[in-house]
Amino acid sequence: MAPQLVLASSSPFRRMLMENAGLVFEAVAADIDERRIEAALEDTHARPEQVAVELARAKALEVSRRMTGALVIGSDQTMSLGERVYHKPKDVEEAKRHVLSLSGKTHSLNSGIALARDGEVLWDHLSHADLTVRTLSADFVERYVARCGEKLLGSVGAYQLEGEGIQLFSEIRGDYFTILGLPMLPLLDKLRDLRAIDG
């Protein structure tokens, strides 16, 4: 019998991806202090990619300790430009600064994923996508932020590719699922390998 599958997340996007793939699962938010974990990792000069994987592991582990026998999926994503790691903008003005700082440059979305059971990580994986923002004028950014408003605050880069944010880009290298923060292909492959889903 396949184990109970649990997504350690309250993200509607991640839930949608899992549901669209036909997976039967429960969503349970992880009770961790992400900023504290990030701060500790920054003290050790961890790369943004490592931060994404460690946060995914922490989420999967925390929920797996509460849900005996369940196979728990943890995931997290960081956005980086060189060594700079971005966080969700606090307000519309910060969203504007984020977008302007990306203009004419290529940044990375790093999506970490982990599977845990009973307080033990069974597997983890990192996928990343490189996104090139076209050169943007300050006037365009002003109009873009005015049109999109506060919904930009829910995205680390102040854009949503499935919406008007697609207009910011000249090139995208990487898969859609990695960009949305849940690398589905490696996840499904591992779940089949563990006989957790029909293979």
Catalytic residue list: 76
Residues 6+ apart with CB under 8 A from 81: 101, 102, 105, 107, 108
Label the pairing between strands 71-81 and 5-7: parallel
Find, among 150, 77, 141, the residue nearest to 111 by Cα: 77
Retrieve residue 47's tokens.
């790369």
Asked if 72 and 63 count as a contact pair (C-beta separation under 8 A), the reply is yes
Alpha helices by DSSP H, 10-137: 12-20, 34-43, 48-66, 92-102
Compute the distance between CA of residue 193 and CA of residue 43 in angstroms, rounded to an integer: 36
Neighbours of 5 (CB within 10 A): 18
